[in-house]
Amino acid sequence: MTATPTQPNSKGTVYVVDDNASFLMSVSRLLRAAGYTVHAFDSATNFLAKHEPAARGCVVADLQMPGMNGLELQEALAKSPNPLPVVFMSGQGDIPSTVRAMRRGAEDFLTKLAPKEDLLAAIERALERDTQECQARWRREDLFRRTVKLHRTSVTRKLAVQSVAELTRLTQEAGLFNQPGPATDTLKKILKWPFK
């Protein structure tokens, strides 16, 4: 892995994943010169092993790589809590692979001979998408936290208990945590069970 410390005035972070060492180096140089922070990986497996789940940015990936290919990388990222947008670059792209990548949410699919302006434009779109998706996730999480807090307050008021600890004791005494089902799961979320 080749990593550059985050630049204070960086346009964003781009993770470049390609098994071709010379292409990996040239794309990394191009992106650094354009003002991006670049982290380069020679395989999808190495990228996923070192990737931080909360990391922001986008991925520029080759389609055909030994081991895990680009489509499998895209699928693994889609399953993560913070899926990064993917821009594919390939010297061996075919129509079915391109269609599959785009249907799975790829930001763009370029040939390795595409003009640098096309690559930079695709990266800008991918970084903007990452920003919008992160903000949407944050809003959903904030709404969930507020909803849980409101439910917790409502339940403690209705049951005339003074604290969540007292409410938890009452639910345990009633045996509610031992009954499987969605109501129990919701109650555990409201009470933040188990306590951490």
Count structural domains, the chain. Answer: 2
Does residue 9 register a pLDDT over 70?
no
Q: Are residues 168 and 130 in the same domain?
A: no
Answer whether residue 126 is part of any domain: yes
Question: Do 174 and 124 share a domain, yes or no?
Answer: no
How far is the C-alpha of 108 from the C-alpha of 60, rounded, in Å?
10
**pLDDT more than 90, % of the chain:** 46
- Domain CATH code at residue 63: 3.40.50.2300
Asked if residue 151 belongs to a domain, the reply is yes
Nearest 5 degrees, angle CA 34-CA 38-CA 44?
Answer: 135
Same domain, 85 and 24: yes
In this structure, is residue 99 part of a structural domain?
Answer: yes
84, 63, 98, 75: CA torsion to nearest 10: -40
pLDDT in tens, 147-162: 777 777 777 777 777 8
Mean pLDDT, residues 114-124 taken together: 95
Residue of 113, 66, 106 whose CA lies nearest to 86: 106
184 HSE (CA, 13 A, CB side)? 10
Report the alpha-carbon distance of residue 103 to residue 80 in Å, rounded: 18
Q: Band of the pLDDT at 58, cuts 50, 70, 90?
A: very high
Task: List Cβ neighbours of 106 (8 Å cut-off, separation of 6 or more).
Answer: 74, 85, 86, 87, 88
pLDDT at position 96 is 82
Question: Are residue 37 and residue 118 in the same domain, yes or no?
Answer: yes
**Does any domain span residue 28?**
yes
Give yes or no: residues 66 and 154 share one domain: no
Q: Is position 18 within any domain?
A: yes
Rounded distance between C-alpha atoms, residue 41 and residue 48, angstroms: 10
Indicate whether 196 belongs to any domain: no
> Which residues form the domain of 53?
2-137
Instruction: Answer whether residue 195 is part of any domain.
Output: no
Residue 71 is assigned to a structural domain of this protein: yes
Lookup: tokens for 190: 């409201």
Render pLDDT for 124-135 as a digit per residue (tens, 0 to 9).
999 999 999 888
